[in-house]
Structure 1
Amino acid sequence: MRRFSLWLRDKPLISDSMLALGLLVIDVLAIGESTQKAAYLVLSLALTAPIVFRRTHTRVAATVLLVVSISASLIHWAGNDPSVHPALLGLGIMLYTLVAYVGRREGLWYLCALVADTVISWELVGEPEGGDAPFTAVFYALCWTLAEFIGARHAYDAEVAARLAVADYDRERRAHDAVATERTRIARELHDVVAHAVSVIIVQADGARYALRHDPDTAEKALGTIAGTGREALRELRRTVELLRTEHAPEQLPQHGTAGIANLVDMMRSAGLDISLELAGEIDSLSPEISLGIHRIVQESLTNTLRHAGSDAHADVRVIRRDTEVTIEAVDTGGVPATIPGSGLGLVGMRERMAVLGGTLSTGRNSQGGWAVRATIPLDRTDDDRSPLD
């Protein structure tokens, strides 16, 4: 049963069709009081059909159902038919759907229209015996209250999903950064091993070639050096290749630059942060080390805003490249404190990153009661085309 309900959750047309069918059966069972049974059956179908599309085409279905309800009152008045359609309960269901899935404003307008429709129906056909005004009021109030509860639950689930996405994104970024650091270290080690070994081999081979005829002992010594250097280089290469085989580094590193920053900002916005972003200058042409540093400063600043300032905070992020430096500024206004604990190492990590890049970092409270992070990274003419092996 649970598996079936989970299956229905992703298929609104099927579940809403079952709801509409149930209303139709109930409505048809009340046909005995009608003096115009053919018209009654047609109206029964017309009243329940919009329920099928209440979540896929909510506004259209709500409007159609309201029009059919008014038409039913007019038809019953014209034919002097005192019967009542139980399928009109669908009006409350449609009110619930509007409030829960569209918004309170549309729901309020629809509620006003329902009140007007009820008044018109009672004026034309007459209020049923015993009066159902209290029942109608309580029914609509219950529909609205349930919609508020479900809407709040949907909003909570969406926020939790967004925050989980941010957490997953942050974890993946950290994993990617760790892999990138290790790959750079391995590349640097390969460069050192191969460059050193090849240089020694070339020098010794040239010497052995010249000494081969005139000084065989020197040539033999040079050849021994070549063999030893080659064996040592081979051992180092095997060790490094074994690291590459066991670590399984990803084929593609995460995207940095303007696209990466924009993606990061969009991710944080989905978690509830109000962020304004300003990017200026040729940021995408920076070296990978600086581009990664910029991305990590912005990411850590926004993560700290989310953790310590709450989702009500507003953050201004500016990344500006000038001729000699790149400035990063992330300032938030503070807000309702969040309850997400941090490791306390974010600022330390940013300072260490700035130290590696030769930049400066300043952090602290601002005049608005929030937090400000300002970083400056110096540039030189090789930053655009630096090789990762240099």
Structure 2
Amino acid sequence: MRRFSLWLRGKPFVADSLLACALFLTDAIVFIGSATDVLWPLFVLVAVAVSAPVAWRRRHPRTVSGAVLIVSILSVLTGHALGDTTSLHPSLLALPIMLYTLVAYVGRREGAIYLVAVAVDGMVSLVFLDQDLFTSILFTVLMYALAWLAAEFLGARRAYDEAVEARLAVAEYDRDRRAEDAVAMERTRIARELHDVIAHGVSVMVVQADGASYAIRKDPERAEQAVANISATGRAALAELRRTVALLRTNPHADDMPMYGTAGLAKVVDMMSRAGLNVELEQTGNLDDISPAISLGVHRLVQESLTNVLRHGGHAPKASVSVIRRDEDVLVEILNSGVGAPPIAVEGTGNGLLGMRERVAVLQGTLDAGRMSDGRWRVRAELPLE
């Protein structure tokens, strides 16, 4: 039975058609059990005219309610004209049903207008039919009041269901949007990490390889040293890449990220020095007990900035790195010599600076990168500790 009711809820026309048939059957039962001499063709005609339109009550509520009201008034006048003042039509229960339909599906204003018209129909029935005044009025008032209250209750329930459905739709959309944003952020994070790992190592290797190609005949020892640096840089980059991929696969928490700190910065500076970059490093304050995310951010900023200096710093590139821990943040500043582009240079894509900006934004810090008035290029970042 419950399954059938749920099925009907999704097919309103079928449900209304069954309601129309039920109204007609009540008229038929009254007609068969009536002891009065009635004009049966007229009785059947009125029953059909009142019941049949109910099947379309939700599709055309105004038209159907008007049709039922007109048929009700005509049946009273016709019955009076033919001398039949005692015939009862239970199918006229369609009148309060249509009042309910108007209030629930159209509006209170239309329902109030229809209620006034029904009151006129009731006065006509009292005048032309043999009905008890008190009983008729009491029954009519209770019936239409019940229809109005049911419409108000079910209308409020339907409005609540629609509001809940709308909220669920918004929540589902918001959930999908957050999932898409999370995927995009994760893709950006992966791209940034891989760029920082690969671009740094490969750039150093390319610069060393170009230098070795020039020195292989004139200065074999220097070329041999460059090749050794290429080998060491490649191994370090490969190890870093493996570690990064492993972290990305396991989706680590921040606590699982490595602490780079002073040792990591010193390692970067040593690698760049062996690659031919003259680097001065200044570290102030304790950098080993800051959060892993900030520590990694500082490491990547220095690594990417020095890589750019090595690419574009000229024949004798020089850079200074200053990392200062302050009370509320960490100041990172990298300056290059500003000599200009060297004849041996690696073409950049601009992803390095973009990656630095993204990383600083994730850490809720600020980044200022650009050429100064004296021609030097400066990268300055402030990363909050909290």
TM range (shorter): 0.5 to 0.7
Name the structure 2 match of 1:153: 157
Tell me by how many angstroms 1:180 deviates. Answer: 3.5
- Confirm or deny: 8 A CA contact 1:12 1:56 kept in the other structure: no
Match of 2:28 in 1: 28
Q: 1:2 to 1:46 in 2, by over 3 A?
A: same
Matching of residue 122 in structure 1 with residue 147 in structure 2: no
Which SS does the other structure have where 1:25 is aligned? Answer: helix
Measured in 2, the distance between the counterparts of 1:239 and 1:78 equals 100
Q: Which residue number in structure 2 is paired with residue 47 of structure 1?
A: 50
Give unmatched runs, 5+ long, in structure 1. 248-351, 359-390
Whether 2:103 is the aligned partner of 1:99: answer yes
Q: How does 1:231-380 map to 2 (within 5 A)?
A: 231-234=235-238
1:64 offset after TM fit, Å? 2.0
Paired amino acid for 1:138: L
For 1:201 and 1:7, the matched residues in 2 are separated by 71
* 1:20-44 superposed Cα distances (whole Å, 9 cap, x missing partner): 1111111112224462212222221
* Contact residue 13 and residue 52 of structure 1 kept, 8 A: yes
Residue among 198, 202, 224 paired with 2:206 = 202
1:193 aligned partner? 197
TM norm structure 2: 0.57
Quickly say closer, same or farther: Cα 1:18–1:244, change in 2 above 3 A.
farther
Q: Which residue of structure 1 lines up, in the alignment, with residue 12 of structure 2?
A: 12
What is the alpha-carbon distance in structure 1 between the residues aligned to residue 109 and residue 40 of structure 2? 38
Distance across 1 between alignment mates of 2:12 and 2:51 = 15
Q: Does 1:78 align with 2:81?
A: yes
Cα separation, 2, equivalents of 1:79 and 1:193: 101
Higher mean displacement: 91-100 or 78-87: 78-87
Q: Partners in 2 of 1:5 and 1:156 — Cα distance?
A: 21
Q: Please say if residues 96 and 147 of structure 1, whose CA atoms lie closer than 8 Å, have aligned partners that are also in contact.
A: yes
3-state SS, counterpart of residue 83 of structure 2? coil
Q: Distance in 1 between matches of 2:365 and 2:42?
A: 81
Relative to structure 1, the CA distance from residue 102 to residue 200 in structure 2 (aligned partners, 3 Å threshold; closer, same or farther) is same
Q: Distance in 2 between matches of 1:237 and 1:78?
A: 100
Q: Report the Cα offset of residue 107 of structure 1.
A: 1.1
Instruction: Kindly indicate whether residue 141 of structure 2 is the aligned counterpart of residue 137 of structure 1.
Output: yes
Deviates more, 1:132-141 or 1:164-173: 164-173
Residue in 2 that maps onto 1:2: 2
CA distance in 1, matches of 2:226, 2:115: 96
**d(CA) in 1 for partners of 2:250, 2:64:** 58
Equivalent pair of 1:211/1:218 in contact (CA under 8 Å): yes
Superposition deviation, residue 226 in structure 1: 3.3
Q: Greater Rg, structure 1 or structure 2? A: 2
**Alpha carbons of 1:58 and 1:216: their partners in 2 closer, same or farther (altered >3 Å)?**
farther
TM-fit CA distance, 1:92: 0.7
Structure 1 vs Structure 2 CA RMSD? 3.2
CA deviation map 1:343-368 (0-9, x unaligned): xxxxxxxxx99x7689xxxxxxxxxx
Query: 1:226 and 1:6, CA in 2 relative to 1: closer, same or farther beyond 3 A?
Result: farther
| Structure 1 residues 224 and 110, CA gap change in structure 2 (3 angstroms) | farther
> Against the structure 1 CA distance between its residues 30 and 195, is the aligned structure 2 distance closer, same or farther, given a 3 Å change threshold?
same
Say if 1:211 and 1:70 are closer, same or farther in 2 by CA, change over 3 A. same
Letter in 2 for 1:43: V
**Inter-partner Cα distance in structure 2 for 1:140 and 1:357:** 70
- Partner SS state of residue 212, structure 1: helix
1:337 match: none
For 2:111, the aligned partner's letter is G
Judge conservation of contact 2:201–2:234 (CA < 8 Å) in 1.
yes
Cα shift readout 1:55-95 (whole Å, capped 9, x = no counterpart): 23222222222222222223322322231210000111111
Counterpart AA for 1:120: V
Query: TM-score of the superposition, structure 1-length normalised?
Result: 0.56
For 1:26, the aligned partner's letter is T
Q: Tell me the matched-pair count.
A: 253
2:22 aligned partner, one-letter code: G
The one-letter amino acid of 2:193's match is: E
TM-aligned CA distance change 1:224 to 1:12, over 3 Å:
farther
Q: Secondary structure at the match of 1:132?
A: helix
Q: Superposition pairs for residues 160-175 of structure 1, below 5 Å?
A: 160-175=164-179
Which amino acid is the alignment partner of residue 54 of structure 1? R
Alpha-carbon distance in structure 2 between the residues aligned to 1:237 and 1:192: 10
- In 2, Cα distance between equivalents of 1:246 and 1:36: 87
How far the C-alpha of 1:9 sits from its partner, in A, is: 1.3
Indicate which of 64, 67, 75 corresponds to 2:67. Answer: 64
Q: Could you tell me which amino acid in structure 2 is paired with residue 121 of structure 1?
A: S
Give the conservation status (yes or no) of the 8 Å contact 2:126–2:133: no
Instruction: Map Cα deviations across residues 86-140 of structure 1 (whole Å, 9 max, x no partner).
Output: 0000111111122122221111111111111111233233436984221111111
Identity %: 54
Question: Where in structure 2 are the equivalents of 1:215-226 lying within 5 Å?
Answer: 215-226=219-230
**Any gaps of 5 or more consecutive residues in structure 2?**
252-360, 368-386
State the alpha-carbon separation in 1 of the partners of residues 139 and 245 from structure 2. Answer: 77
